[in-house]
């Protein structure tokens, strides 16, 4: 080589080095986020879930999967909110297995929750629903709609992952009075479904905002406890109910998906409830009652940060099953037995730490008092409960509710011991989670 002259090999090496400097390089530990919104509205009539067996006659408003992907460079998690009522844990297990096969994403990374609208189609086999609510699931369930829900959920996860980009996160809380305790008490102490303004209620909105480096929104996650029952069983059109109305309203204002993550709504109703039509249910007013409160809370979160550390965990909690209660053979993984022969319900509980905040989730309709107790005893700055996640194993009431009676204790596979078993186990686990 003459002095000052580059050989062909040197020119190629120089060009390759220059190209590498121009390509975007992701540093280890860089936080990224992505989101997707996928329509799951059926085109034909479906059996609806949540009240007595009935079939849809049309669509009042469309329903969706909404997916948020979070990735800190070491841990990746997918939060999903679907405009559905409930589904068996076996449906989650099938979807999670398919996702792992197609994408390599592990089941523990996938949190599939529902908004709990009672105006959405059934999804898959009834599972424990048929055990606890005899007579509602005697018809054949739709294989076609289950296939649509599963395939579009996988599409949504893939899309959210493909959209992962450098991001920031803000976490905080708000408050809304859109819900009310629904365990009405009569003079003789009888408990029935209704409205109880003196009963326990959790009105906190848990807020997580994901945004790009330029401040534009990727997604908002709003965690609020409220049954999706503004519309009653007389209404037979498909709808996202109150949660769906709120999500679409916030999305119109922010220009990004909003995941409505239901909370401990086992004993909480919307303040307008089980009405025969959207007008009687004041369905649009939930945009003010809850939608505007979410927007206010989002605006008050303050600046988002890019320094994010995630941590995932899981604990199975065992508690006695009601004596003589039947069980679905498909749910063998969610049943157990003590050495003495006592039958148990096995509940998988997930945990996600985001910096100094934590979310925990379970496949039950939890009473709000238990979630508030966990929040009060948690060592973390913010503690959010994501209900109806990864399936449905019935109501999980307080010991007092079992003494009082009513619909929810009857529609539960557990005994009065479950409040202590569940609450103590969750609080203990939270205190053992490593800090960032």
Q: Please tell me the predicted confidence (pLDDT) of residue 176.
A: 98
Q: What is the pLDDT of residues 176-193, one digit of tens each?
A: 999 999 999 999 999 999
Average pLDDT estimate for 216-224 = 98
Helix (H), strand (E) at residue 22:
helix 8-22
Average pLDDT over residues 304-317: 97
pLDDT score at 136: 84
Which range has the worst mean pLDDT, 19-28, 145-154, 373-382?
19-28
**What pLDDT, on the 0 to 100 scale, is given for residue 323?**
94
Closest CA to 394 of 337, 315, 322: 322
Helix, coil or strand: residue 114: strand
**C-alpha span between 63 and 41 (Å, rounded):** 5
* SS3 call for 56: coil
| Angle, vertex CA 420, rays to CA 418 and CA 423, nearest 5 | 95
Average pLDDT over residues 386-414: 98
Distances from the Cα of 402 to the Cα of 397, 398, 399, angstroms:
7, 7, 5
Residue 203 confidence (pLDDT) above 90: yes
pLDDT of residue 436: 87
pLDDT, residue 109, reads: 98
Please give the pLDDT value at position 12: 43
Per-residue pLDDT, 20: 37
SS3 sequence, 307-346? CCCEEEEEEEEEEEECCCCCCCHHHHHHEEECCCCCEEEE
Average pLDDT of every residue of the chain: 93
Which residues, in sequence order, are bridge partners of residue 366?
Answer: 396
The residue among 184, 186, 181, 198 whose CA lies nearest residue 267 is 181
User: DSSP class of residue 92?
Assistant: H
Residues 103-127 have a mean pLDDT of: 97
Please determine, for residue 26, whether its predicted confidence score (pLDDT) is greater than 70: no
pLDDT, mean of residues 270-278? 98
Instruction: Label the pairing between strands 54-55 and 58-59.
Output: unpaired
Least confident of 18-22, 145-149, 196-200: 18-22
Residue 39 has pLDDT above 70, yes or no: yes
Q: Which H or E run contains 349?
A: strand 343-354
Q: Is the pLDDT of residue 17 over 50?
A: no
Q: How far apart are CA 165 and CA 10, in angstroms?
A: 34
What residue ranges do the domains of the chain occupy?
32-299, 310-432
| pLDDT over 60 at 13, yes or no | no
Express as a percent the part of the chain with pLDDT over 90.
Answer: 90
Q: Residue 225 has what pLDDT?
A: 98
Q: What is the pLDDT of residue 137?
A: 80
Token representation of residue 379: 């060592």
Percentage of the chain lying above the pLDDT 70 cut: 94
pTM for the full model? 0.92
Residue with tokens 């000052």: 4
419-429 residue pLDDT tens: 999 999 999 99
How large is the average pLDDT for residues 84-108? 97
pLDDT band at 388 (very low <50, low <70, confident <90, very high): very high
Residue 27: per-residue pLDDT:
45
Residue 410 tokens, joined: 């009857």
Distance CA 170, CA 238 (A): 34
| Torsion, Cα of 203, 274, 259, 426 (10° steps) | 50
pLDDT for position 215: 95
- pLDDT tier, 29 (very low <50, low <70, confident <90, very high otherwise): confident
Going by C-alpha positions, the residue among 311, 387, 321, 383 that lies closest to residue 349 is 387
- Residue 25: per-residue pLDDT: 39
Q: What are phi and psi of 79, to 5 degrees?
A: -100, 130
- How much is the pLDDT for 138? 84
The whole-number pLDDT of residue 248 equals 98
Non-local (6+) Cβ contacts of 163 within 8 A are 34, 35, 36, 69, 218
Instruction: Transcribe 224-265 into DSSP letters.
Output: E---B-SB-TT--EE--HHHHHHHHHHHHHHSS-EEEEE-S-
State how far the alpha carbon of 234 is from the alpha carbons of 56, 118, 139, 275, 365, in Å.
11, 11, 19, 8, 23
Q: Answer whether residue 18 shows pLDDT above 50.
A: no
Name the burial class of residue 432, with classes exposed (0-12), middle (13-18) and buried (19+) by CB atoms within 10 angstroms of its CB.
exposed
Average pLDDT over residues 383-408: 98
Degrees to nearest 5, angle at CA 87 with 383 and 97: 85
Please state, as a whole number, how many other Cβ atoms lie within 10 Å of the Cβ of residue 406: 20
């Amino acid at each position: 080589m003459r002095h000052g002259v580059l050989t062909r090999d040197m020119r190629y090496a120089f060009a390759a080095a220059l190209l590498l400097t121009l390509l975007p390089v992701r540093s280890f530990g860089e936080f990224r986020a992505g989101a997707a919104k996928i329509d799951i509205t059926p085109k034909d009539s479906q059996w609806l879930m949540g009240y007595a067996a009935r079939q849809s006659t049309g669509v009042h408003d469309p329903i969706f999967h909404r997916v948020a992907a979070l990735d800190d460079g070491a841990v990746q998690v997918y939060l999903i909110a679907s405009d559905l009522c409930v589904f068996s844990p076996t449906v989650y297990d099938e979807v999670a297995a398919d996702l792992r096969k197609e994408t390599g994403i592990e089941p523990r990374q996938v949190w599939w929750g529902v908004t709990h609208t009672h105006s959405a189609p059934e999804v898959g086999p009834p599972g424990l629903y048929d055990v606890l609510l005899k007579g509602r699931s005697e018809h054949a369930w739709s294989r076609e709609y289950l296939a649509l829900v599963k395939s579009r959920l996988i599409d949504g996860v893939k899309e959210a992952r493909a959209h992962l980009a450098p991001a920031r996160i803000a976490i905080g809380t708000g408050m809304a009075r859109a819900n009310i305790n629904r365990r009405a008490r009569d003079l003789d102490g009888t408990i029935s479904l209704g409205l109880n303004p003196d009963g326990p209620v959790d009105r906190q909105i848990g807020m997580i905002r994901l945004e790009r480096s330029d401040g534009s929104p990727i997604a908002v996650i709003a965690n609020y406890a409220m049954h999706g029952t503004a519309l009653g069983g007389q209404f037979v059109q498909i709808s996202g109910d109150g949660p769906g109305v709120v999500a679409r309203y916030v999305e119109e204002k922010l220009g990004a998906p909003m995941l409505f993550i239901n909370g401990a709504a086992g004993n909480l109703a919307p303040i307008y409830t089980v009405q025969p039509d959207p007008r009687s249910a004041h369905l649009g007013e939930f945009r003010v009652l809850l939608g505007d409160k979410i927007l206010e809370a989002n605006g008050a979160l303050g600046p988002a940060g890019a320094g994010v550390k995630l941590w995932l965990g899981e604990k199975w909690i065992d508690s006695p099953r009601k004596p003589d209660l039947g069980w679905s053979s498909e749910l063998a993984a969610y049943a157990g037995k003590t050495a003495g022969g006592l039958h148990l319900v096995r509940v998988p509980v997930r945990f996600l730490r985001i910096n100094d905040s934590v979310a925990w989730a379970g496949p039950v309709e939890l009473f709000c008092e238990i979630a508030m107790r966990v929040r009060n005893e948690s060592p973390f700055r913010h503690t959010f409960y994501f209900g109806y996640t990864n399936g449905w194993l019935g109501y999980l009431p307080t010991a007092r509710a079992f003494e009082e009676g009513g619909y929810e204790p009857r529609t539960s596979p557990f005994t009065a011991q479950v409040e202590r078993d569940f609450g103590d186990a969750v609080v203990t686990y939270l205190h053992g989670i490593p800090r960032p």
